[in-house]
Amino acid sequence: MGDPNDTICALSSAPGRAGIALIRVSGPESLSLIREVFVTRGSKPAPRRAVLGTIRDPEGGGKDLDQVLVTCFPAPRSYTGEDVVEISMHGSPVLVSAVLDCLCAKGARLAEPGEFTLRAFLRGRMDLSQAEAVQDIIEAKTLYQAQVAARQRSGELARQLEPVKTLLIDIIVQLECALEFVEENLPLESREALGAKLEGLQGQLGAWIESYRRGRLIRDGFTMAIVGRSNVGKSSLFNALLRQERSIVSEIPGTTRDLVSEEMSLDGVPVRLLDTAGVRVSGDRVEQLGVDRSLRAMAEADALLLVLDRSEPRAEEDDCLKGRMAGLPCVVVFNKCDLEAAWPDHEQTSYAGCWPSVEVSAKTGWQVEHLREMILSQLFGGRPAERDGFLLTSLRHCQCMENAERGLTRASEALRGGLSEEFVLVGLHDALRRLGEITGETSVEDLLTEIFSRFCVGK
């Protein structure tokens, strides 16, 4: 990243032609710089008030570039915590680059990706987890994802962490005092009480780490492959779930030859749904290549829908497929339930085993809604929106928590093993530092470049 004391500028709205474009300028020179290039007939720009005027290029013979609205946000009440100016102008790429050139000629430089938000973090306008959430909000593909990210942007993670850190600091202080001021070691009762407190903290961190399993799926979405032998109705189910005729359906076995992929939202969770070639041994080379792809997709997917044709007796391929799926999250779908059943009820139950199963008709749409709910409950233990409370959605946060939990475990073991306070304190300080890394309280410079380089320019 460039010098954090420069004045930076960038197009903050999406590039390309649009009704309006927004240029943002931030840094110590932004207000004086705008005075040089912005001409208004009426009032001068007042804090947080949009003023109509013209951007005039003083270098280019004083020619008018565009009629614009300028809003000034003097420090510290701005996005970055510095003096910020926002220029709303006509969304013409040619004019936008002319205005940016004009600002740069006056001493600003083009911002690097994420630099505005990095400054907001460095100037204490937001903690690190809030800054990361800004990008998550922008990248959200569903409203639910955006809502989860907005909660983090509002500082939810820091609020959740606060009592845990307070308790940890409290324990550290007790042990430090025992070390400093008491001749003897900590009495046994206190050790037991501290041990119980540590266990409580470990439990809390463990629950958050576990929540990442669901949080990750909400933030990044998941891939779900529809698998089964040929002609059982995989493509019909794929279309029914998508509510569009995306995949070719026909009564000829071996219709789907390649993977067909489509994005959909399940209760706000983005899902990449895959239709696969029916698994069977085929003399057709192309079909066999498709089957190989199906098997690979099965191994790589986060979840599976195993489709069976309930109107036909169980086949060898059904069992062969099931054998490959052990341990994977799966819902077993008995399809073609509008036709007479060829499977006895008890066989359906025993076949599904520990996986949840559902009877549907992809052709008529019967029970397809129920299948959607089952997929969510299989992956989230319920609809994500009802259950979540608080979720960890970032791998970085989860790793910090895991490191903190390891520190606590070391401290607990030292405490139970009767070791001196110093040994317990090492683990506790480490845990506190790791928790601090989540919100950026401790030294995190090495993390910054990585986090902010993923931002888009203008944010």
Ligand X SMILES: Nc1nc2c(ncn2[C@@H]2O[C@H](COP(=O)(O)OP(=O)(O)OP(=O)(O)O)[C@@H](O)[C@H]2O)c(=O)[nH]1
Residue 336: contacted member of ligand X, Mg ion, none (CB under 5 to 8 Å, by partner type): ligand X
Note whether 231 binds Mg ion by CB under 5 A: no
Least Å from the CB of residue 92 to Mg ion: 47
251 is in the binding site of which of Mg ion, ligand X, none (Cβ under 5 to 8 A by kind)? ligand X
Does residue 211 interact with Mg ion by CB under 5 A? no
Nearest distance in Å: CB 148, ligand X = 34
Q: Which of residues 242-271 bind Mg ion (CB under 5 A)?
A: 255-256
CA angle 252, 314, 363 (to 5 degrees): 45
276 in contact with Mg ion (CB under 5 A): no
Give the long-range contacts of residues 371-375, CB within 8 A, separation 24 or more.
371/241, 371/305, 371/331, 371/333, 372/241, 372/266, 372/267, 374/331, 375/224, 375/266, 375/303, 375/305, 375/331
Chain centroid to CA 319: 37
**Looking up tokens 């669901």, which residue turns up?**
214
In the complex, least distance from residue 235 CB atom to Mg ion, rounded to whole angstroms: 3
Nearer Cβ to ligand X (333/401): 333
294 sits near Mg ion (criterion: CB under 5 A): no
Residue number, 267 or 338, with CB nearest to ligand X? 338
Q: Shortest gap between Cβ of 362 and Mg ion (angstroms)?
A: 11
Residue closer to Mg ion, measured from CB, 137 or 242 = 242
CB of 327 to ligand X, least distance (A): 24
Stretch that binds Mg ion, among 150-158, 216-224, 234-242, 434-442 (CB under 5 A): 234-242
Span of 105-113, 120-128, 233-241, 354-362 interacting with Mg ion by CB under 5 A: 233-241
Nearer to Mg ion, 53 or 233 (CB): 233
Our CB check for ligand X shows the closer of 55 and 237 to be: 237
User: Using a CB cutoff of 8 Å and minimum separation of 24, what contacts does 432-437 make?
Assistant: 432/165, 432/168, 432/169, 432/172, 432/404, 432/407, 434/400, 434/401, 434/403, 434/404, 434/407, 435/161, 435/164, 435/165, 435/168, 435/400, 435/401, 435/404, 436/165, 437/128, 437/400
Cβ-proximal residue to ligand X, closest one = 278
User: What Cα–Cα distance (Å) separates residue 450 from each residue in 112, 145, 262, 396, 456?
Assistant: 13, 22, 31, 11, 13
